[in-house]
A and B are shown apart, each in its own frame.
Chain A
């Protein structure tokens, strides 16, 4: 769900001086940002912390925001990515790969296992084991449905670079699931 671009642009301009307008932006984008942050952190408390930080930073910085032709949300995602990085720098993620992946049934195809809800959560947890930029790109694409161009704005990369990150990330995910399953199965 996106706001009409023209309306959003006007709203953002008003939000630079009008708390109510900022509140409207917050109301519209809170869910997306929180979901994104949570999908990257998988910890409700941490997600709440980081989400609040994102919006406080946005509040502080919206006066300097300049429309770039991309959705306002891209700017918020950009702040989010930075805040998540800050969070990880301050505290390494507690979830280990082993914990995240768990024990899978080697007899099942990857897709079948993914189809199971708990397996799906493991898959998303496995995404966390990918290199940071790959998982950020994958999360923004597969979790938030951002356009590649917008993801590029968020991550400060070209659209092609984002494609590559997502492609490599997906290959890495498949490999991790297969290898992990095989290893666990032999153990």
Chain B
């Protein structure tokens, strides 16, 4: 092991008389240890010396010692290496890999000029994409290792870094959390330029991310059943028992009519719908005309009823529009005729049709105002038709109207290609525009909520609002650049089905949970989605056939988010209005006597619903977090967790009956819970999202779940680092309310404990 190349005549001379000592000297020399050296140490010491040099070299006897306050939480087995023994004390806290964001150097020394500056395109922005790479541009070539070592991001975020010239590129390992304020800090002592210069102070870059859907659950693939062939452009109407009516079939199929008077075993060109349904008496002015029931097998172009159980039943001549009456027993069908459009009553039991009226023009849509009054929209007006065939004009439509959609409770949407569509109350005839809407809109089955595509924004926005008042909420979209060609709302505004077409050409059917926008199911390329009346099935046209699919995990009449119909929309609207300081919307959402605006903090940047639970008395209790992003003058995130109570509004929907917010306070350091949401399914599964990258091993043990009465439940918790989400499987049915507690033993990747213990009641 001796170093034969090492020759030191002086050593040879000293030990010339003692070869063993000479050999030992060589061995000692060759075995001299290489000391461990933190590469940052040399750089920081140089920076400190350079800062002191002007004063020291100018006045050698009066060098002022830097005195430094160095809070630090560096995780290392050895002690602080930039600590200086007395009388020296100098800074360098920023080079720790895990410095807290609040680490601030206080240097009490003669000021010297610093030249390093930094800027970032995301600074002070409030809607940065969570997929963004954060770029910090320096004005000088930097010491890469020193800068990266002093980089800290709050909430704790694992990142990779790269350099492009003087630009530091920071790429989050798991993307940023949506709707979250961020602070990127580089301690002054780490802002070390290659020439030894430093920044004048710590570098703080604050920004907020845009709202995004919470971490997506696994997306179920819809498994549709084919019901039968339909014509191109045929409209689907869904009945509650899984029966689907298509306004126009394409061809005869296996005859399965079960409720017809004269069933046939084969399609016959001679048994035309025309011959079977030709009116036999005069039109509306003389009252309804009774037509014979359809007994023929399905005929191409005819109105058909389809179900998996009974097959296809020919109901009569094809229609351009049809609507199921509130009792679910008959249709109002608009059937083209030589003189215009006939409005016929079509019983679903196969009994005889009734002609209500004949309109002179085409019909854009049909609906029902009540069980005994049907609706029809012509290009210029909406008419009502009673069961005696009396036609009355309800409202004149805006010029250029091309699309009309009726709700189940007396509302109508009228849209065109050129201007904002309008929402019309057919009772009061009061209308209001739906901003940005054109031709795509839909009502929830209960009529309480309207959804529409804002075609004026880029990328496309999908919006919802209660019908009763304007409180617009944006549905987060996973692929906002896609084009949405059709939408459908379920009965309780808990789900939304959309047909979206990617710029690359492919289209698909997605089922979203509201208000989160989380995709819960995905189907094939399709058009014209329609919810079954009870909301647990979705019908659509795909590949020239009508199909129907059960929605995984959705029980009839039960919302995935387990909130009563409309409650989620109200909560979302509340938070939006608070953040926007929208006094009118807040007033509209408030129960009598409640002043939400006065109870809300001002200067908010963002907010989100943390948890919500429906109570046995029909009320809803929720927690929302309201946030003021950091500013140049206030580096900390400010927040308040408000509690909200909702009560049912007479006539549908919900009002805020109580709200307590309190004053904003600085957010404590450490990870925070962003949301707690049940996941669809028969067993209760809670998905808890965090704003920070967590130490995975700390998650499960920090989470406990009990019944509301306090009995512990054995749960299984899985943490997904990519989505910063803990999925907790609770061995109770999905409708059971439980109490979730997360303790401060949960820590982020920087070792910071959960900012405060978290408790929420969820799941029922």
Identify the A interface with B (CB < 8 A).
15-19, 22-23, 26-27, 30, 34-35, 38-39, 44-45, 47-49, 51-53, 55-56, 59-64, 87, 90, 110-111, 114-115, 117, 120-121, 123-124, 127, 138, 141-143, 145, 147-148, 163, 166-167, 170-171, 173-174
A170 to B53, CA, bound (A): 41
Contact check, B15 vs A23: say whether CB atoms are below 8 A apart: no
Is B427 part of the binding interface, using a Cβ–Cβ cutoff of 8 Å?
no
Q: Is the interface of A mostly helix, strand, loop or mixed?
A: helix
A30: chain B residues within 8 A (beta carbon): 42, 45-46
CB atoms of A127 and B28 under 8 A apart: yes
Let me know if B84 and A44 touch, CB within 8 A.
no
- The reply on B60 being an interface residue by CB < 8 A is yes
Contact call A110/B24, Cβ cutoff below 8 A: yes
Tell me, in angstroms, the Cα distance from A27 to B53 when the chains sit together. Answer: 14
Given A123-B28, A167-B15, A174-B21, CB of A44 within 8 Å of CB of B49: no
Report the Cα distance A34→B43, complex, angstroms: 13
Q: Does B10 contact A (CB under 8 A)?
A: yes
A22, A110, A142, A163: the one contacting B49 at CB < 8 Å is A22
Report whether A34 and B37 are in contact in the complex, using a CB–CB cutoff of 8 Å. Answer: yes
Q: Would you give 11 A-B contacts (Cβ < 8 Å), ordered by A? A: A19-B49, A30-B45, A30-B46, A34-B35, A51-B45, A56-B49, A60-B60, A124-B28, A124-B32, A170-B28, A174-B21
Do B28 and A173 touch (CB < 8 A)? yes
Contact: B32 with A170, CB < 8 Å? Answer: no
Q: Which residues of B contact A48 (CB under 8 A)?
A: 38, 41, 81-82
Given A142-B11, A171-B21; 9 other pairs, CB 8 A cutoff: A16-B57, A22-B53, A26-B46, A52-B48, A53-B85, A121-B33, A141-B8, A143-B29, A167-B21
Q: List chain B residues, Cβ under 8 A from A52.
A: 45, 48, 84, 88, 90
CB distance from A146 to the nearest CB of B (A): 10
A49 vs B84: C-alpha distance in the bound complex, in angstroms?
6
CA distance A143 to B8 in the complex (A): 12
In the bound complex, CA of A49 to CA of B11 (Å): 31
Say how far A157's CB is from chain B's closest CB, in angstroms.
15
Pairwise interchain contact B50-A19, C-beta atoms closer than 8 A: yes
B598 at the interface (CB under 8 A from A): no
Q: Is A45 in contact with B79, judged by CB distance below 8 angstroms?
A: yes
**Chain B contacts for A64, CB-based, 8 A:** 60
Query: Is the CB of B269 closer than 8 A to any CB of chain A?
Result: no
Q: Which residues of A contact B13 (CB under 8 A)?
A: 163
**Distance (whole angstroms) from the CB of B443 to the closest CB of chain A:** 70
- What separation, in Å, do the CA atoms of A111 and B582 have in the docked complex? 85
Which chain B residues lie closer than 8 Å to A148 at the CB level? 10
Contact present for A47 and B28 (CB under 8 Å): no
With a cutoff of 8 Å between Cβ atoms, the chain A residues found around residue B80 in the complex are 45
Q: A39 contacts B27, CB within 8 Å?
A: no
A49 to B90, CA, bound (A): 11
Q: CB-CB < 8 A to B23: which residues of A?
A: 111
Shortest B28–chain A CB gap in Å is 5
Chain A's closest residue to B51 (CB) is A19
Choice from B32, B60, B90, B196 contacting A23 with Cβ under 8 Å: B196
Kindly identify which residue among A44, A138, A142 contacts B81, using a CB–CB cutoff of 8 Å.
A44
In the bound complex, do residue B21 and residue A53 qualify as a contact, i.e. CB atoms below 8 Å apart? no
Most buried by A among B32, B38, B41, B46: B32
Q: Which of A22, A35, A56, A173 contacts B88 (CB 8 A)?
A: A56
Residues of B within 8 A of A53 (CB): 84-85, 88
**For the complex of A and B, 10 pairs with smallest distance between CB atoms:** A120-B31, A19-B53, A38-B35, A115-B1, A63-B60, A114-B27, A48-B81, A142-B29, A59-B56, A143-B32
A138: chain B residues at CB < 8 Å are: 28
Hey, which chain A residues are within 8 Å of B33, CB to CB?
Answer: 38-39, 120-121, 124
Query: When chains A and B are docked, how far (Å) is the Cα of A57 from the Cα of B84?
Result: 13
Which B residue sits closest to A44, measured CB to CB?
Answer: B36
One of B24, B34, B42, B78 near A170 (C-beta < 8 A): B24
With both beta carbons as reference points, the residue of chain A lying nearest to B86 in the complex is identified as: A90
Given A39-B33, A56-B52, A167-B14, A142:B25 Cβ within 8 A = yes
CB–CB B31/A117 < 8 A: yes
Distance, CA A32 to CA B465, complexed state (A): 72
Q: How far is the CA of A110 from the CA of B25 in the complex (A)?
A: 12
In the assembled complex, the CB of A158 is this many whole angstroms from the nearest CB of chain B, namely 14
Establish whether residues B24 and A111, one from each chain, have CB atoms under 8 Å apart when the complex forms: yes
A24 to chain B, nearest CB (A): 10
A49-B57 contact in complex given A114-B31, A143-B32, A163-B14, C-beta closer than 8 Å: no
Which residue from chain B places its CB closest to the CB of A51 in the assembled complex? B45
- Complex Cα distance, B33 from A45, in Å, reads 16
Chain A residues near B722 (CB-CB < 8 A) = none
In the assembled complex, the Cα of A75 lies from the Cα of B56 at a distance in Å of 18
* Complex CA–CA separation, A44 to B38 (angstroms): 9
| B59 CB to nearest chain A CB (Å) | 9
- Decide if B83 touches A49 in the complex (CB within 8 Å): yes
Say yes or no: A23-B52 contact (C-beta < 8 A), given A48-B82, A61-B60, A170-B25: no
Does A142 contact B32, Cβ atoms closer than 8 Å?
A: yes
A19: B residues at CB distance < 8 A: 49-50, 53-54, 57
- Nearest chain B CB to A113 CB, angstrom units: 9
Contact B35 A47 (CB under 8 A): yes
Is B20 part of the binding interface, using a Cβ–Cβ cutoff of 8 Å?
A: yes
| B14 contacts A114, C-beta separation under 8 Å | no
Is the CB–CB distance between B46 and A23 below 8 Å?
A: yes
- Chain A, Cβ-Cβ closest to B42: A30
Q: Is the CB of B53 within 8 A of A59?
A: yes
The reply to whether B53 and A23 form a contact with Cβ atoms under 8 Å apart is: yes
Q: Is B63 an interface residue (CB 8 A)?
A: yes
Return the contact of B57 from the options A17, A123, A170, A173 (Cβ within 8 A): A17
Tell whether, in the assembled complex, residue B36 and residue A114 are in contact, meaning their CB atoms are under 8 Å apart: no
Q: Kindly provide the distance from the CB of B195 to the nearest chain A CB, expressed in whole angstroms.
A: 9
**Which A residues are in CB contact (< 8 Å) with B50?**
19, 23
Cα A170 to Cα B48 in complex, Å, equals: 39
Pair A45/B81 contact, Cβ less than 8 Å: yes
Please determine whether B29 and A39 come into contact, CB atoms closer than 8 angstroms.
Answer: no
Cβ–Cβ < 8 Å partners of B52 in chain A: 56, 59
- The answer on a CB contact under 8 Å between A39 and B57 is no
Give Cα A23–Cα B45 distance, bound, in whole angstroms: 10
Contacts of A63 in B (CB 8 A): 57, 60
Check if B60 sits within 8 Å of A145, measured CB to CB: no
State in angstroms the CA–CA spacing of A110 and B49 once bound together: 44
The minimal Cβ–Cβ distance linking B724 to chain A, given in whole angstroms, is: 36
Please determine whether B8 and A145 come into contact, CB atoms closer than 8 angstroms.
Answer: yes
- Counting chain A CB atoms within 10 Å of each CB, the highest count among B15, B33, B36, B46 belongs to B33
Minimal Cβ-Cβ distance residue in A for B13: A163
Q: Interface digits, B228-255 against A, CB 8 Å rule (1 contact, 0 not)?
A: 0000000000000000000000000000
B63 pairs with A60, CB closer than 8 A: yes
State whether A18 touches B57 (Cβ < 8 A): yes
With beta carbons under 8 angstroms apart, the residue of B8, B28, B35 that contacts A114 is B28
Contacting pair A59 B196 (CB below 8 A): no
Within 8 Å CB of B196, what residues of A? Answer: 23
- CB neighbours of A170 from chain B (8 A): 15, 21, 24-25, 28
Asked if residues A45 and B78 are in contact (CB atoms below 8 Å), the reply is yes
CB distance from B669 to the nearest CB of A (A): 26
Assess whether A174 is in contact with B49, with CB atoms less than 8 Å apart: no
Q: Which residues of A contact B90 (CB under 8 A)?
A: 52
B20 touches A174 (CB 8 A): yes
**CA A26 to CA B53, docked complex, whole Å:** 12
CB-nearest residue of chain A to B90: A52
List residues of chain B with CB within 8 A of the CB of A167: 14-15, 21
A27 to B143, CA, bound (A): 14
A34 to B84 CA separation, bound complex (whole angstroms): 15
Q: Which residues of the other chain, A, contact B53 by a CB distance below 8 angstroms?
A: 19, 22-23, 59
